[in-house]
Amino acid sequence: MNPAENAESVRSALVTGASTGIGAATARALAEQGWRVFAVARRTERLQELAEQSGVIPITADITEDAQLAKLLTEVTEAGGIDTLINIAGGARGADKLAESKAQDWDWMYRVNVLGTMKLIQAFLPMLRAGRRGTVLNLTSTAALVAYEGGSGYNAAKFAERALTQALRLEEVEHNLRVIEVLPGMVRTEEFALNRLGGDQQAAAKVYRGVAEPLSADDVADVVRYAVTLPHHVNLDEIVLRPVAQAAAHKVIREP
């Protein structure tokens, strides 16, 4: 199936990071609107649960591994292709100041947030160009806008992913490729803070303590869904969203 022909009938998206959090919520939100969704993540069991609940097409893959990425491209191509690529996979490791930061944390963050996104876009660009109505949406973070203490590694990775996104928009406009960046602030999900803080439940809970209504995965997924379902000539270049209680990275209202 030609991706352009597919776009005329059923929209089709690939969503990474779909085993949990914002990725799972995004895959579910699009499927509910009738999209054909390829849900991609490393954890097969979670993907299968999502598929049973929502009807998405689960594909287990690590987007940082070249062989698995090639297999993913083949599977999606043989299944009819996509017109929309949504890069949600990413995350943070560690909250140390630069002087104490660990190289392995930086390596993981750069590999997943930047290189994984870059490799996935490279793999699917020919397909998205061919349809002439392709969309790439990258989920970055407000950490890509302002650096903060204890965030140097995550800031560096998200600043790089943001730069990648901006360059892509300039380079691919001649192919009518729509490039969108969504930059969430504080989002409470089951794993983000927990993974960042090495599985420390108390430390993870403290991140959100006293904040009446941090964003949820569904909040962000709804914004992503809206951005990619607008008419193709409408490009929301950048969407920054935060809970009202978070006026800026350094100013968060916490109730007693």
Give the active site residue among 148, 154, 208, 226: 154
241: left (phi over 0), alpha (psi -120 to 50) or beta: beta
- How many Å apart are CA 6 and CA 224, to the nearest integer? 20
Distance CA 102, CA 214 (A): 29
Of 193, 186, 237, 239, whose CA–CA distance to 213 is shortest?
Answer: 186
Q: Residue 63: which residues within 8 A CB-CB, separation 6 or more?
A: 16, 40, 69, 72, 89, 116, 117, 119, 120
154 is catalytic: yes
Q: Cα separation of 256 and 254, whole Å?
A: 7
Secondary structure class of 182 (helix, strand, coil): strand
Q: What are phi and psi of 14, to 5 degrees?
A: -110, 125
Neighbours of 213 (CB within 10 A): 11
Task: Say if residues 25 and 78 touch (Cβ distance below 8 Å).
Answer: no
β-partners of residue 16 are 40
- Determine the 3-state secondary structure of 135 from DSSP: strand
As annotated, the active-site residues are 154
